[in-house]
């Protein structure tokens, strides 16, 4: 799975460097067969914190850091490109992605994080609840799922990992609310692709079936 994510990143990283950051020796041993690996602390509360430690250890400077998760084996290079394009605006500090939701069960599922953004494509809020709540508005309200892919200006990445947990973050258990609550802006790009993440053995079986149906199982 990790190698698939690496290959997707490599296809759009003509001017960048790719590292796999982990605290697991098993991942290190496998990933070193195809990538550079950075070993990090096992005490990080989030991937953002692990990413910050990793970027501070590399022997070169950079402006933009993209944080991709190894449990997203079907990530599309086009999604990474959307993240990168957000930073063509020099004012963007953090970037992420959203995808429109259509199923009412998904919209009301607290395990699916929703996001609302403004006309400048900046996030207004993230929630496990249905947002916006439709009271007397038209039927064509759009709902969006937040996809947990992030990119950061290096300076913003280092700063946000120094922030104390916030009230909104603790309430919803969403780290990005800490950033909003402290005044950081999050640009939101839109994608039309959603693929299964793999967090459990059952998810892995579903992912294999997804790959088979997608005629994409040869390297899985």
Q: Flag whether pLDDT at 170 surpasses 70.
A: yes
pLDDT for the residue numbered 138: 67
- Who has greater pLDDT, 202 or 189? 189
- Euclidean distance between the first and final Cα of the chain, in Å? 7
Helix (H) or strand (E) holding 13: none
Q: What is the mean pLDDT of residues 115-123?
A: 97
Residues 67-98: tens digit of each pLDDT: 998 888 888 999 999 999 999 999 999 999 99
Rounded to 5 degrees, what are φ and ψ at 128?
Answer: -85, -10
**Mean per-residue pLDDT over the chain, rounded:** 90
Task: Report, in angstroms and rounded to the nearest whole number, the Rg of the chain calculated over CA atoms.
Answer: 18
Q: How far apart are CA 93 and CA 86, in angstroms?
A: 9
3-state secondary structure at position 78: helix
CATH superfamily of 2-203: Spore Coat Polysaccharide Biosynthesis Protein SpsA; Chain A (3.90.550.10)
Counting beta carbons within 10 angstroms of the beta carbon of residue 171, is it exposed (0 to 12), middle (13 to 18) or buried (19 or more)? Answer: exposed
Pairing mode, strands 64-67 and 143-153 = antiparallel
Q: How far apart are CA 177 and CA 127, in angstroms?
A: 9
Q: What is the mean pLDDT of residues 58-63?
A: 89
pLDDT for the residue numbered 219: 46
pLDDT band (50, 70, 90) for residue 220: very low
Count of other CB atoms within 10 angstroms of residue 202: 9
Q: Flag whether pLDDT at 212 surpasses 90.
A: no
Residues 128-155: tens digit of each pLDDT: 999 998 887 667 889 999 998 999 999 9
DSSP H helical ranges for 44-96? 47-57, 77-86
Q: Are 79 and 172 in contact (CB under 8 A)?
A: no
With a CB cutoff of 8 Å and minimum separation 6, the contacts of 191 are: 76, 78, 79, 82, 97, 98, 99, 147
DSSP string over 6-64:
HHHHHTT-TTS--EEEES-HHHHHHHTTTSEEEE--TT-SSHHHHHHHHHHHSSS--SE
pLDDT band (50, 70, 90) for residue 27: very high
């Amino acid at each position: 799975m990790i190698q698939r994510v690496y290959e997707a990143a490599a296809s759009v990283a003509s001017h960048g460097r790719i590292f796999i950051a982990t605290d697991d020796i098993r991942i290190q041993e496998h990933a070193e067969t195809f990538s550079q690996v950075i070993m990090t602390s096992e005490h990080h509360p989030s991937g953002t914190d692990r990413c910050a430690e990793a970027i501070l250890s590399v022997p070169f400077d950079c402006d933009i850091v993209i944080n991709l998760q190894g449990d997203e084996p079907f990530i599309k290079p086009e999604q990474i490109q959307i993240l990168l394009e957000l930073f063509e605006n020099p004012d963007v500090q953090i970037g992420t992605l959203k995808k429109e939701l259509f199923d009412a069960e998904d919209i009301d599922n607290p395990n699916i994080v929703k996001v609302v953004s403004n006309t400048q494509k900046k996030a207004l809020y993230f929630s496990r609840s249905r947002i916006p709540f439709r009271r007397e508005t038209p039927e064509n309200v759009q709902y969006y799922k937040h996809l947990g892919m992030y990119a950061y200006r290096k300076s913003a990445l280092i700063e946000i990992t120094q922030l104390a947990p916030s009230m909104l973050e603790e309430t919803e258990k969403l780290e990005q609310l800490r950033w909003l609550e402290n005044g950081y802006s999050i640009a939101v790009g839109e994608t039309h692709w959603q693929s299964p993440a793999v967090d459990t053995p059952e998810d892995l079986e579903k992912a294999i079936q997804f790959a088979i149906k997608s005629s994409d199982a040869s390297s899985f």
